[in-house]
Structure 1
Amino acid sequence: MPCIVVDYEIAQRIESYLAITESPIVKVSPGMTVVGDGVLSPRVASFSSRGPSPLFPGILKPDITAPGVGILAAVRGFYALMDGTSMACPHVSVTALLKSVHPDWSPAMIKFAIVTTASVTDQFGVPIEAESVPRKVADPFDFGGGHMDPDRAANPGLVYDVDAREYNKFFNCTLGSSHGCESYQLNLNLPSIAIPDLKDHVTVQRTVTNVGAVRTTYHAVLEAPARVVMSVEPSVITFVKGSSTSMTFRVSFTTKRRVQGGFTFGSLTWSDGNTHSVRIPVAVRTVIQDFVADTS
């Protein structure tokens, strides 16, 4: 017998129709493939893994999202439409092409360029949605930096970078408490900021490297998480010929209310007002006591 799968919102409409209609009618039309500019995509799949990370909530996960639903894939003797990470991963392998364009970039620079240039809107400029119950606008725990855009990643303007020594120090901090570890974990130079236990005020630090025009100025554009005051210093960074290609900035967060809450989201974008828009996602959770800081 025929089977039709609908999302939660459509199911609610069907249920309402059945409840108010004496003789409901169901019409099953022939199947068809929908293509073209009217397709509402991308959209985060319901089965896609979500954040926050239970082991390291101070590191925002996932990093990025890529096409992984209904992908035309080769199988033995035929073809099939397949879903999952196995389909998304080949799309992210565009990193190999980025390495050929920028052979001097580190692996972290390539990865982070993909994150900071990702799109958070669909082809119509509408915020990307996440399939859930009910459906909602996607947040960083759904898609990280957003939906990858390889063309923009090839020319990001600014990049973040982390070398092996920094990763090693972070790993050592996870093995046990030591002096400076709490601060260091917040200041790992990732293209995201996650603060899982904001009790009052905290300041984190990040460094960006200019890989674009020698003479350029970027302005900070802030989208503060709900119930949090967010500021950046400096709010304008300028690169000129002969100066350092790297700039360090500090981002401060102050809670407006001392209440136990869930994560709220925002972003920090460095914009040159023309070509480049370098965006990192932000996730902040306010807490009252340490013993409840590990609940979402």
Structure 2
Amino acid sequence: MSCPHVGGAAALLKAIHPTWSSAAIRSALMTSADPFQFGGGHFRPSKAADPGLVYDASYQDYLLFLCASGVEDLDKSFKCPKKSHSPRDLNYPSLAIPSLNSTTTVSRRLTNVGVPKSVYFASAKPPLGFSVEISPPILSFKHVGSKRTFTITVKSQSDMMGNIPRDQYVFGSYSWNDGIHNVRSPIAVKLT
């Protein structure tokens, strides 16, 4: 039953915010959810209607993701760049790292859909055995529609290596908070 419930919530959000892309709607549903054991969590449509920030992605962002994943010529009018991005840099509201050796850094871009002149502060609950650093740790938005880019660096902690199973994911999260909105993103990491 989760698919019809989420589909209905997405339709409701599209009615409330007709200019939002499907990526913005997905982001609002995921980042406003209650933490749960799996995935983004238990979604809350009333919170998703006013998420504060969204991770938006365009058609071109998905084409760049496919190029980085080795899929080319899907759209004949689009040429993959000679130097591709990492597939991990798709502007997605969660972060999954299926094989971490020691450190990885990814970038994300947030769009303000809340109030003008807002300031968000980063916090993290790192997965067991890892550190998470967000840079910059404070994002200021001057108006609705403002976009800000940040990086997330996930690093394994050598003193915790014995406690981390190498064949299983460990989970954490990071959040952006302005005192009203809490924009939470899950993190899943597996050591190689």
Per the normalisation by structure 2, the TM-score is: 0.85
Structure whose CA Rg is larger: 1
Question: Are 1:165 and 2:30 counterparts?
Answer: no
Partner of residue 75, structure 2:
none
Q: Relative contact order (alpha carbons < 8 A, sep ≥ 6): 1 or 2 greater?
A: 2
Partner of residue 116, structure 1:
31
Question: Are 1:281 and 2:186 counterparts?
Answer: yes
Partner of residue 133, structure 2:
231
Specify which of 45, 48, 51 is matched with residue 156 of structure 1. Answer: 51
Partner of residue 171, structure 2:
265
Partner of residue 96, structure 1:
11
Partner of residue 21, structure 2:
106
Partner of residue 249, structure 1:
150
Q: How many residues align?
A: 178
Partner of residue 10, structure 1:
none
What is the rounded CA distance, in whole Å, between the counterparts of 2:138 and 2:45 in structure 1? 27
Specify which of 190, 195, 215 is matched with residue 92 of structure 2. Answer: 190
- C-alpha displacement at 1:239, in angstroms? 1.5
What is the rounded CA distance, in whole Å, between the counterparts of 2:152 and 2:10 in structure 1? 29
Q: Deviations over 1:225-267 (max 9, x none)?
A: 11111101010111225x9701000011111126772321110
Matches within 5 A, 1:10-89: 87-89=1-3
CA-based RMSD: 2.1
Give percent identity, aligned residues only.
38
Between structures 1 and 2, the one with greater strand share: 2
CA contact (8 A) 2:53 2:110 kept: yes
- In the alignment, structure 2 segments of 5+ residues that lack a partner are 73-79
CA contact (8 A) 2:66 2:87 kept: no
Partner of residue 12, structure 1:
none
- In the alignment, structure 1 segments of 5+ residues that lack a partner are 1-86, 121-127, 129-137, 288-296
Per the normalisation by structure 1, the TM-score is: 0.56
Q: Report SS of the residue matched to 1:94.
A: helix
